[in-house]
């Protein structure tokens, strides 16, 4: 069963991929993309899509830490940082080095959770609010073009309950998860999902940014 957040992330990636073109670097991504239903490379303006990861099992094109992306001596037209920043020990360094590897006018797509439980991959270090992210991004030459809010209070509560059940997985929790699956279908029909309207409570954020300097 997919969380509400994962459904919103898939929707955001489908929308935001239209902003990309040229050579794309997917930082922390994996070729199998088995965490959601979104599959990249639908946009014909995209020439290449390369993966950077430190996990050899993910079979990345570049097996290096994100902090060392400039050592590739390559320039990209766009980048993806999907559910990665919260797992980085030095996220501001990664954003700075990524910006240096981006051509002027290049576009970046970023997602980061907010009201979700701790999830190590292999570590979970931080959460960001949009205002703080905008400040960090501006410092490294990335202008925030649009911010999406991924679900409101009801979706956040739903996902927290779902995660708790997975953390304490049992026969009873499997039954409850099946019941929640039915409720999720109803919830998604009557709740505000992916939106550019600011929300005080949300599962997380999706940002579209552009290299300006």
pTM passes above 0.85:
yes
Six token digits for residue 120: 């190590």
Residue pLDDT, tens place only, 46-68? 999 999 999 998 889 999 999 99
Number of H helices, E strands in the chain: 5, 7
Six token digits for residue 92: 């501001």
Q: What CA–CA distance (Å, rounded) separates 162 from 155? A: 10
Fold observed for domain 4-152+193-211:
Rossmann fold (3.40.50)
Residue 131 pLDDT class (50, 70, 90 cuts)? very high
The strands making up 142-150's β-sheet, listed across from edge to edge, are 46-52, 22-27, 76-82, 102-113, 204-211, 142-150, 194-195
Domains of the chain by residue range: 4-152+193-211
Six token digits for residue 160: 């927290």
Q: What CA–CA distance (Å, rounded) separates 8 from 14? A: 10
Question: pLDDT exceeding 90 applies to what percent of the chain?
Answer: 80
Segment 29-50 mean pLDDT: 84
Beta-strand ranges (E) seen in the chain are 22-27, 46-52, 76-82, 102-113, 142-150, 194-195, 204-211
Q: What CA–CA distance (Å, rounded) separates 85 from 109? A: 12
Q: What CA–CA distance (Å, rounded) separates 100 from 78? A: 12
């Amino acid at each position: 069963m997919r969380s509400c957040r994962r459904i919103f992330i898939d929707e955001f990636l489908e929308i935001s991929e239209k902003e990309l073109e040229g050579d794309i670097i997917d930082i922390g991504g994996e070729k199998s993309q088995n965490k959601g239903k979104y599959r990249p490379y639908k946009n014909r303006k995209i020439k290449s899509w390369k993966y950077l990861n430190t996990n050899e099992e993910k079979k990345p094109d570049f097996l290096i830490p994100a902090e060392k992306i400039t050592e590739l001596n390559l320039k990209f037209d766009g980048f993806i940082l999907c559910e990665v920043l919260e797992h980085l020990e030095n996220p501001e360094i990664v954003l700075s080095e990524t910006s240096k590897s981006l051509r002027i006018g290049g576009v970046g797509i970023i997602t980061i959770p907010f009201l979700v439980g701790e999830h190590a991959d292999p570590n979970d270090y931080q959460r960001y609010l949009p205002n703080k992210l905008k400040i960090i991004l501006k410092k490294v030459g990335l202008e925030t073009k649009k911010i999406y809010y991924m679900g409101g209070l009801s979706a956040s509560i739903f996902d927290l309950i779902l995660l708790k059940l997975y953390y304490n997985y049992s026969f009873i929790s499997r039954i409850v998860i099946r019941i929640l699956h039915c409720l999720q279908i109803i919830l998604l029909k009557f709740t505000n999902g992916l939106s550019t309207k600011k929300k005080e409570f949300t599962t997380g954020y999706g940002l579209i940014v552009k290299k300006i300097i």
